[in-house]
Structure 1
Amino acid sequence: MSAHVEETRDLCPAEHLDGLVVLTLNRPEARNALDVPLLQAFVAGLAAGIRAGAGVVLVRAEGSAFCAGADVRSDDGTASGHPGLRRRLIEESLDLLGGYPAAVVAVQGAAVGAGWAVAAAADIVLASPAASFRFPELPLGFPPPDSTVRRLEAAVGPARALRLLALGERFAADDLAGLGLVDVVPETSLDEKARETAARLAALPPELLRDLKAGLSAWKRTSLPNTLERQS
């Protein structure tokens, strides 16, 4: 790919449909690793969808991997006078994802570190059988995003969340399906199923969808201790 194409390519193209925005991570030659330009495009796409009144966002990716995590070989903003910009943009993207009444993510390959954080921020994660998930941050000396810690703890409890986040292990889609974190979909129909699911959610009144999501979150917070108590 020529330098000219790299400079002018849309790193995160957006499709605006009825009540739905579809965002595509489009840096496949780097396995969609999150450098500052891709993150800026992603954040801009998420913010534009909210401004346009989209109730649902679908995040998908081009290439063999969903997202290889933060691109630690790229400038984190220091060269432009903004050290730590990459991590701040990751946190901003997770906050924006959580701001939608519903978020859907389609994972067709590896979702590593910040890539898994993006998936964990969604309400529905559809994954191909070849998808894999790994958090390498803690063994490398970096804390995972707070929102990811809270989300996984609420979903699977503190003990399982610790294993998912702390040991740097690779988990297959079937592993996470067993914990209720993803739904496994044949790779050939992953994109179609993700778009269909997102469109069905977008057809619902967004305010009712938001209320339902808030109610379910409150139920998780009150029921989780009882569930863990029964297991002990």
Structure 2
Amino acid sequence: MPDFAPEFCDVAVDGHVMTITLNRPERRNALHTDANHELGAVFDAFERNPELWIAVITGAGDKAFCAGADLVTAPSGGRPPVPESGFAGLVSRFNRRKPVIAAVNGMAMGGGFETALASDIVIAADTASFGLTEPRVGLAALGGGIQRVVEELGPKRAHALLLTGRKITAQDAHAMGIVAEVVPAGDLMATARRWADEIMECSPASIAATKAVVQSFDGHSVEHSMKDMFHLPEVRSLLTGPDAREGPTAFAQKRKPNWANPA
């Protein structure tokens, strides 16, 4: 848990899972300067806490996950509109060691879609919708949306979204491979928790190593990545750590493994 009381989101911890609920339903959970910086601090606390293994991010209400940047509320405090970790404290948070699941409960527009794209797994309610709509208000998807949509879809399909500001349904996003599962709205959070529980059956050290290899693979060949990955600290930590011994031992003894907390 963060060491302060969040104002613009609700934070709940259940076991090793932290759930962060964007809580500005009167603004369709659009984020202003203070909300972005608060979320940056919340995700900082999540990354620091070895007892927290997975984060789930969702939105309050049934209308919106996040409508993007709040274009109405004036900035306060003379701070930049987002922290170094980016919109929602997430989109520029590179080299994350822990998984983030986006449970998209409604519209995810602009920065809201970028927040989902920056997550590791996206689960969507069947009423959810997505769009990088910034060009329709004279802006552009400069929070990683352009790059991540191209990475996910390839340039031709990405251009079809990026150059039109088109909105797509949860079913469309699932067909494109952006969304892992579409479920009835009432089942969304239970489904996100099911995915979190499935991840937690795996070693946290293995998850950290896997994420590190995925991130280091960007822009490199398979051959380069396979040679380079053994220099990654997360991979070295996995191979020399207790989970690499506990996993085979538990398998041989036909019991569930007792994974070590991540460092």
For 2:78, the equivalent position in structure 1 comes to 81
Asked whether the 8 Å contact 2:39–2:89 carries over to 1, the reply is no
The answer to whether the aligner puts 1:135 opposite 2:132 as a matched pair is yes
**Paired residues for 1:168-183 under 5 Å:** 168-182=165-179, 183=181
Asked whether the 8 Å contact 1:59–1:105 carries over to 2, the reply is yes
For 1:5, the equivalent position in structure 2 comes to none
For 1:151, the equivalent position in structure 2 comes to 148
C-alpha offsets along residues 150-169 of structure 1, whole Å, 9 cap, x if unaligned? 32222211111222222111
Alpha-carbon distance in structure 2 between the residues aligned to 1:97 and 1:76: 25
Q: 2:37 aligns with which of 32, 37, 40?
A: 40
Alpha-carbon distance in structure 1 between the residues aligned to 2:12 and 2:96: 18
Alpha-carbon distance in structure 2 between the residues aligned to 1:199 and 1:130: 24
Q: How many residues align?
A: 213
Deviation at 1:139, TM superposition (A): 3.7
For 2:191, the equivalent position in structure 1 comes to 193
C-alpha offsets along residues 80-112 of structure 1, whole Å, 9 cap, x if unaligned? 333x42486417431337614311001111001
Secondary structure of 1:74 counterpart: coil
Asked whether the 8 Å contact 1:112–1:134 carries over to 2, the reply is yes
For 1:11, the equivalent position in structure 2 comes to 8
Alpha-carbon distance in structure 2 between the residues aligned to 1:95 and 1:103: 13
- The structure whose residues are more often helix, as a share, is 1
Alpha carbons of 1:204 and 1:72: their partners in 2 closer, same or farther (altered >3 Å)? Answer: same
**Paired residues for 1:24-103 under 5 Å:** 24-53=21-50, 54-63=52-61, 64-77=63-76, 80-82=77-79, 84-86=80-82, 89-90=86-87, 92-96=89-93, 99-103=96-100
Deviation at 1:203, TM superposition (A): 4.1
Q: Which has the higher contact order (CA 8 A, sep 6+)?
A: 1
Rg comparison, structure with higher value = 2
Alpha carbons of 1:100 and 1:185: their partners in 2 closer, same or farther (altered >3 Å)? Answer: farther
Alpha carbons of 1:219 and 1:75: their partners in 2 closer, same or farther (altered >3 Å)? Answer: closer
Deviation at 1:121, TM superposition (A): 0.5
Q: Which amino acid aligns with 1:48?
A: A
Q: Which amino acid aligns with 1:55?
A: W
TM-score of the aligned structures, taking structure 1 as reference length: 0.81
Unaligned runs of 5+ in 1: 1-7, 224-232
Choose 9-18 or 160-169, whichever is displaced more: 9-18
Deviation at 1:146, TM superposition (A): 5.1
Deviation at 1:137, TM superposition (A): 1.3
Q: 1:208 aligns with which of 201, 206, 209?
A: 206
Asked whether the 8 Å contact 1:173–1:184 carries over to 2, the reply is yes
Alpha-carbon distance in structure 1 between the residues aligned to 2:68 and 2:143: 16
Asked whether the 8 Å contact 2:133–2:167 carries over to 1, the reply is no
Secondary structure of 1:34 counterpart: coil
Alpha carbons of 1:73 and 1:109: their partners in 2 closer, same or farther (altered >3 Å)? Answer: same
TM-score of the aligned structures, taking structure 2 as reference length: 0.72
Choose 214-223 or 155-164, whichever is displaced more: 214-223
CA RMSD of aligned residues (A): 2.5
